[in-house]
A and B are shown apart, each in its own frame.
Chain A
Amino acid sequence: MFSTRTAGAGRYFLIALFVCGISLGLVPSKAHAAYIGWFDYGRNGTNTNGTLSWQFTLNDNPPVHTVSWRAGSGKELNDHLNVGWLPSGWYSVRGHWNDYYGTKIWGRVWYLSDKYNEHSVKRTALFIHTEETRANGQSATYEPQRWDGVSDYLSEGCVKIAYGSDLDNMHLYWNNYGGGTEHGNGSPYPLASKLYVHN
């Protein structure tokens, strides 16, 4: 079983924000719409100041709507195993959890497909995630479960997004605009072509 819980007070703030967005025409109405959405990650030549976007269309027609957040990946400006950013290309999302409970990663995560890097080495165990607890909170005592600032954008290869409104909003778009509401890694996962990574 997987929780669909979001952070308590932040949830109401998000809903208000979202309603505002619709009334201002910033996001299209969801009613009777079939959205096709995907992540886009541009590295921008850095490990800590990339751009993670959610892009979506309505009924597979233009225009392509885009909402973006700052994100990071890797510790070095290459795609080497354990240290480099996410290799270029398309990825499927092979699972999504709101309460992932790993040894190094917790909470809201998107689990990505494996990919070869430029030197023919497989990159595996890659996620989009933040630093939070399994229950989507912040730990006072354990740094990997607490977002401390810019240095937390660094990773061994995963794409990392800031805890708080950035992740909350991204999750909201994933849920409502062409991502999915299902959790775990069973059907309908893997969802093909859900992340495009480029320079």
Chain B
Amino acid sequence: MPKFTSRRSVAVAACVGVVVIGTVVGGAYALVGVGNNYAVGEQPKAGKQTVVTAEATGTVVSRVQNTAFLDPEIKVITVPLGVKFKVPGQLYGTRAKQPIQLGPPGVEGMTQDCFGSRMAITFDDGKKLLYPFLQHLRDFPDEAPGSEHVPNGTPIDTSTIRLLDLTTGEDSLLLSGARSMALRADGKFAYAKGVEENYRYNFPYLQRIMVQDGLSGSPECWTTDSGIYSVLQWAKGALFVERQYEGEATEVVALTGPDQMKLIVGQDERLLAVSPDGSQIAVASGICDPSGETCLRIVRWETGAEVCRLRMDQVLDPASGEKVQLGRRGSWEGSTLIVGLTPTGAALLSTEADKLELKDVIALRYPKLRLGTDPEPLLNADATKIFLVTDEATGQAELERTAVITYDLASGECARWIVPDRAAITNLVFDPSRPR
């Protein structure tokens, strides 16, 4: 049984008898639970904060329909798990009948950034793809007693960025010793360039941020000091970059030119999404009040002014009634903001009129879903669908799978495309840069 605070008890009492109504929506496959308020307003402490008084229903997705094809609006890159970084991944979602094998032929490596950037970008009306390829040089040391001693400084792998022409199939090396990238609609291209070509064992892979006009322009260094960086995205004239410190503490800075850097997300916060016009950011904050409760904040990043906020301790999982945690990423299109939740779910919010209103709390609970994973939801361009990546548990390791879920916000229909053959690291291909 969920534990209710006194405030929640009032809400529950007001909804007696309406705990969960199993409803098949639109002849589709979602079981919808209705009845509780999943957010309650909090009075602002400063003049400019907007009161959040959202009342939202929760949706429990208890069934999905399998589909043989990935939704035509999304592409994914899958990298098989358990192949020790030697087997490149595949691109799904093109018009080709078969998935496209990525990476240079015959070269061992992994079609993923090894430092956590998920970035792969299509451009030129979807005809070209920029993607990371980690070239494998030698096995990563395991440090177990009796294992081969690998000296510090031994080259282990090389980060590269490759360019695939989806029309001709031509796949070429764009940059070596470089990783994580962003491409703006006007062609402004940014990436992190390694001070050294290779990652060397136990040596920090230091980089500088480079910016150039187009893929073949002359690079300009925007960070004289080398550091551990990941390029996140463009936001109007600024480039958002994550900077990592010892202990893996991270901050997000906005770069507006060579060595012009502004801290926009501190280490107690996490950047979730950027508004369509690039002027506002959604952040998960662990410093909202003295109690340390997490909240979702909308901030004008250029001034640091808070637009509005939502306390997360009042957002409940509609399946269990328990508190949820904000996930690592969100997505923002128009005035619709979606953020990932754990256990596996998402919160749908409206950002209209500089207010943050919780519209729905969606909990995925269909059979054989591996609960707990953060599905890192992505909205399509017109904010009518959500794409989520899930792990499908079967009880047998060799049969476990990864899936891409397409959730239709209007109908509640939920479709599941299972990555063929085996469990895989599955990254959605999308370009968060603004403007596109």
The residue of chain B having its C-beta at the shortest distance from the C-beta of A195 within the complex is B143
Please report the total number of A residues contacting B with Cβ < 8 Å: 38
> CB < 8 Å: which of A77, A103, A121, A192 contacts B115?
A121
Q: What chain B residues lie within 8 Å of A190 (beta carbons)?
A: 152, 202
> CB < 8 Å: which of A94, A116, A129 contacts B202?
A94
| A131-189, CB < 8 A from B | 151, 155-158
* A125/B372 contact (C-beta < 8 A), A104-B246, A104-B267, A156-B248 known: no
Expressed in whole angstroms, the Cα–Cα distance for A82 and B144 within the complex equals 24
* A122/B246 contact (C-beta < 8 A), A89-B142, A94-B202, A114-B201 known: no
The residue of chain A having its C-beta at the shortest distance from the C-beta of B325 within the complex is A76
The residue of chain A having its C-beta at the shortest distance from the C-beta of B151 within the complex is A190
> How many B residues are at the interface, by size bracket?
35 or more
Expressed in whole angstroms, the Cα–Cα distance for A100 and B325 within the complex equals 33
Looking at chain B's contact residues, the main secondary structure is loop
- Measured CB to CB, the closest approach of chain B to A114, in angstroms, equals 6
> CB < 8 Å: which of A78, A92, A156 contacts B247?
A156
> CB < 8 Å: which of A83, A90, A158 contacts B145?
A90
> What per-residue 1/0 map shows which CB atoms of B104-139 lie under 8 Å from chain A?
000000101011100000000000000000000000
> CB < 8 Å: which of B250, B325, B425 contacts A156?
B250
The residue of chain B having its C-beta at the shortest distance from the C-beta of A77 within the complex is B372
> What per-residue 1/0 map shows which CB atoms of A82-98 lie under 8 Å from chain B?
11000001111010000
The residue of chain B having its C-beta at the shortest distance from the C-beta of A151 within the complex is B292
B228 at the interface (CB under 8 A from A): yes
A113 at the interface (CB under 8 A from B): yes
- Measured CB to CB, the closest approach of chain B to A125, in angstroms, equals 5
The residue of chain A having its C-beta at the shortest distance from the C-beta of B342 within the complex is A76
Expressed in whole angstroms, the Cα–Cα distance for A122 and B141 within the complex equals 12
A67 at the interface (CB under 8 A from B): no
Whether B144 contacts A81 by the Cβ 8 Å rule is: no
Whether A127 contacts B149 by the Cβ 8 Å rule is: no
A105 at the interface (CB under 8 A from B): yes
- Measured CB to CB, the closest approach of chain B to A41, in angstroms, equals 14
* A104/B245 contact (C-beta < 8 A), A77-B372, A113-B143, A113-B202 known: yes
B4 at the interface (CB under 8 A from A): no
Q: What chain B residues lie within 8 Å of A25 (beta carbons)?
A: none
- Measured CB to CB, the closest approach of chain A to B112, in angstroms, equals 6
B229 at the interface (CB under 8 A from A): no
Select the residue from A76, A82, A89, A193 with max chain B CB neighbours within 10 A: A82
- Measured CB to CB, the closest approach of chain B to A94, in angstroms, equals 5
| B250-288, CB < 8 A from A | 250, 267
- Measured CB to CB, the closest approach of chain B to A45, in angstroms, equals 12
Whether B143 contacts A90 by the Cβ 8 Å rule is: yes
The residue of chain B having its C-beta at the shortest distance from the C-beta of A118 within the complex is B81
> CB < 8 Å: which of A76, A91, A116, A127 contacts B140?
A116
A124 at the interface (CB under 8 A from B): yes
Expressed in whole angstroms, the Cα–Cα distance for A96 and B419 within the complex equals 44
Whether A192 contacts B246 by the Cβ 8 Å rule is: no
- Measured CB to CB, the closest approach of chain B to A117, in angstroms, equals 9
List the 3 shortest-distance A-B pairs measured between CB atoms, nearest first: A156-B248, A90-B143, A81-B116
Some 12 contacts from A to B, beta carbons below 8 A apart, are: A81-B115, A89-B143, A94-B202, A102-B247, A104-B249, A121-B115, A121-B116, A127-B246, A156-B247, A156-B248, A156-B250, A192-B143
Q: Which B residues lie at the A interface, using CB under 8 A?
A: 79, 81, 85, 110, 112, 114-116, 140-145, 147, 149, 152, 199, 201-202, 204-205, 228, 244-250, 267, 292, 325, 328, 342, 372, 425
